[in-house]
Structure 1
Amino acid sequence: MFYHNIMPFLFIITHLVSSQSAPLAPALYVFGDSLLDNGNNNMLPTLAKANYHPYSIKFSAHVPLGRFKDGRTIADFIAEFLGLPYPPPYVHLFGSNWIIQSDTTLSSNLFRASLITGYNYASAACGILPETGSLYVRNTPRDYIILGKCISMDEQIEMFEGTIKSQLAPIYNDHGQLYQYLSKSIFLIITGNNDYIQNYLNPLILPSKQYDPDQFAQLLVDTFSLQIKRLYELGARKIILSDIGPLGCTPFFTRSLRRMLNNSEICECDENVNLIVSKFNDRLATMLQNLTASLIDSHFILQRSYHRSYDLIKHPAKYAYAISASRHLGELPVGVATDIKVGPYHSNGTTKAPMNGCVGVTSVKFNACEDMGPPHKSKAEFPVSIPGEKRN
């Protein structure tokens, strides 16, 4: 079964949750990128971390646990709707410095980690293709950052397979019980953004330049199809996905367009980038229809994020925004990170010897920017392309 929108699904869930206390699904398993990462990257040797302020300033106790936004992610909302605890970051199993050390109790209360209610495998900067996520170009090809390690989609699926073998199989030693558990669980996947931001549209990633936009979109869809089939083979039956938003309207590309036109007054979406991204989105819907026909008892829900986000940008008043959102898709208050200093990073936020060889951000300066929210509420620009809690 294939649905083109998640809203009817969430409406049904909300109605059911209000009438019963038992969870509507046994578990929620999360895969993807920074739109869903809730702490996995904090344990990796990478600069793509979100364990410092002002991240999560709308989240419980305002503690930056690793979400790349101001508050809850889509996965958090779905977990709440299902009546499940927030799926803990899977890499958290291998260490404790994924959060600020003084807030261990808070973290435990937030996640209430249970290996039978799901995990979050999402990793910021990564994508569908294994080579995505190593470099981030800030302004020009000469101004770039080597990000470090992230967990690709293939690796995330391998982690899930490991979860089945090492943790779930001993509990559900009967194959039929394990099948029932997995078939009733919800699988959430949001990925593909970085395959454009950190790969195809990154001038330093040369291998992808052998493809024209249609060919690259087809490469992504073909690879993604195999990954979804692998999840299906492992037991996934109910899968929620999202297409890619209008990346041409994010700060990186609006600023690039402004520089290219040499006009500081211009703040418009790069529609060429949006056209390139839409080629993947169009193929994604067709791919899911084909998978529905070939994979017995599969259920897919595709959230059309592109059209909703683009409409918000072009018609902000419809969504109670004070001014046009064409400057960016984010809503993180405080300001724009404009001067990031990189060095050895300690999990308590100080510049000390790195833990597990990790490096990270030691200080960030912020500049205030124009109001992006309802009147009288200060908003500011999110660094790249990540929507805040209000938009989720």
Structure 2
Amino acid sequence: MAIMIMMLRSVSLGETMNSRPLAPALYVFGDSLFDSGNNNLLPTLAKADFLPYGMNFDRGPTGRFTNGKTVVDFIDFLVAEFLGFPYSPPYLSLNQILLHPEQLTGLNFASGACGILPDTGNDLGRCLNFPEQIDFFETAIEEELPRHYLNSDDLSNHLAKSVYVISVGSNDYINNYLDKKHYDTSKRFSPQSFAKLLIDNLSQQLRRMYYLGARKVIMFEIGPIGCIPSSTGQFKHNGRCVEEFNEFAVMFNDHLAPMLVNLTSNLQGSSFVLGHAHWLGYDAVTHPSKYGNYYSK
């Protein structure tokens, strides 16, 4: 999390802790790692609005795919002294939340099971793929956000100063490329060509975000997908990581870093920051005792 704080500092406009917040809002995009309740309102099997989800969260089950906080929640908590705002509410629940103008400090568009490609996760039901999340972001800019600002210049300034956090792409492997029962993607694309396909589509959507007003974007790597239970259990690895799947994620990540550098270089005033997640996730799985709460058999 110290790395995250440094990244947030790097994308700030230089305000100090003792003055106004470094950013007026946090906008969140991605999959189940960041979903804070959007899937609650969608017809899908990918839901987390029941126990044991949320058993260690102060609000109970909210649709977060974890027993407690998501990564974004930890970011909110640990850098609150820098950013100064609460959890970003799920966008689809806006009609259930009464927001005063001064309370709009971000929105969460993330949706569990979905990915970069439109058809990823569809076998589980309805979810918001990344292009759709950007569509909703555009709708928010056109319909919701103007009510909080006096004019278009104030809104543009808000968007430019806000921080945008994204974690997406793992489901394009888990719920698409590696799911040979429901998809033929692995027959049509080699691992390298599929990674390139994802990066090209992701780049297009990040450019959309830029032209909608986003300037300070943190994009996380894909984690070690070969170490999750659905991978280790399906292939009977007795809890050991499926390294072939991890190599697919590394291929994506190897393309991701230079793509973000290219966007920053070519889109004036932008900062696309890479969030290093793969090595940390892999190390936590393979050396759990280093991270506490380790229970040996």
Q: TM-score, normalised by structure 1?
A: 0.68
**Judging changes above 3 Å, is the alpha-carbon distance between structure 1 residues 21 and 87 closer, same or farther for their aligned structure 2 residues?**
farther
Match of 2:267 in 1: 295
Show the counterpart of 1:51. Answer: 49
User: Contact 1:192–1:244 (CA<8 Å) still a contact in 2?
Assistant: yes
- Correspondence for 2:209 among 231, 236, 247: 231
Residue 175 of structure 2 corresponds to: 198
Identity %: 46
- Equivalent residue for 1:40, pick from 34, 38, 41: 38
5+ residue gaps, structure 1, are 97-106, 136-146, 260-265, 325-369, 371-392
1:26-37 equivalences under 5 Å are 26-37=24-35
1: CA distance, partners of 2:286 / 2:121: 30
One-letter amino acid of the counterpart of residue 51, structure 1: D
User: In the alignment, residue 293 of structure 1 is paired with which amino acid?
Assistant: S
Q: Is the 8 A contact 2:16 2:22 kept in 1?
A: no
In structure 2, relative to structure 1, the CA distance for the partners of 1:113 and 1:60 (3 Å cut) is farther
Q: 1:223 to 1:247 in 2, by over 3 A?
A: same
**Count of aligned residue pairs for this structure pair:** 288
Shift of 1:67: 0.6
Q: Which residue of 1 aligns with 2:199?
A: 221
State whether structure 2 residue 296 is matched by structure 1 residue 318.
no
Instruction: Summarize deviations over 1:119-176 as a string: whole Å, max 9, x none.
Output: 11110000000000112xxxxxxxxxxx210011111101010111112234435332
Aligned partners of 2:37, 2:173: CA distance in 1, in Å? Answer: 23
Q: Which moved more, 1:187-196 or 1:304-313?
A: 304-313
What is the rounded CA distance, in whole Å, between the counterparts of 2:205 and 2:85 in structure 1?
25
**How many Å separate the matches in 2 of 1:22 and 1:129?**
38
Q: Is the 8 A contact 1:6 1:302 kept in 2?
A: no
Equivalent of 1:69, from 66, 82, 90?
66
Q: Compute the RMSD of aligned alpha carbons.
A: 2.5
Unmatched runs of 5 consecutive residues or more in structure 2 = none
Helix, strand or coil at the partner of 1:254: helix
Which residue does the alignment assign to 2:85? 84
Separation of aligned partners in 2, 1:69 and 1:93: 22
Q: Deviations over 1:324-383 (max 9, x none)?
A: 8xxxxxxxxxxxxxxxxxxxxxxxxxxxxxxxxxxxxxxxxxxxxx6xxxxxxxxxxxxx
* Aligned mates of 2:289, 2:101 — CA distance in 1: 40
Kindly state the Cα deviation for residue 226 of structure 1 after the two structures are TM-superposed: 0.3
Flag the structure with higher helix content. Answer: 2
Shift in CA distance, 207/311, structure 1 to aligned 2, threshold 3 Å: closer
Displacement of 1:78 in angstroms is: 2.5
On the 8 A contact 1:42/1:49 being kept in 2, the answer is: yes
Indicate the SS of the match to 1:188.
strand
Distance 2:233 2:100 in 1: 41
CA contact (8 A) 1:88 1:113 kept: no
Counterpart CA distance in 2 for 1:207 and 1:114 is: 46
Letter in 2 for 1:73: T
SS at match of 1:275: helix
Amino acid at match of 2:6: P
**SS of corresponding position for 2:200:** helix
Which structure: greater strand fraction?
1
Q: Deviation digits for residues 231-288 of structure 1, max 9, x if unmatched?
A: 00000001111101111111111112217xxxxxx33111111111110010000110
* Native 8 Å contact 1:21 1:83 kept in 2: no
8 Å contact from structure 1 (residues 285, 302) kept in 2: yes
Question: How far apart are the structure 1 equivalents of 2:31 and 2:102?
Answer: 22
Which residue of structure 2 aligns with residue 152 of structure 1?
129
Taking a change above 3 Å as real, the CA distance of residues 113 and 193 of structure 1, as seen in their structure-2 partners, is: farther
Amino acid at match of 1:8: M
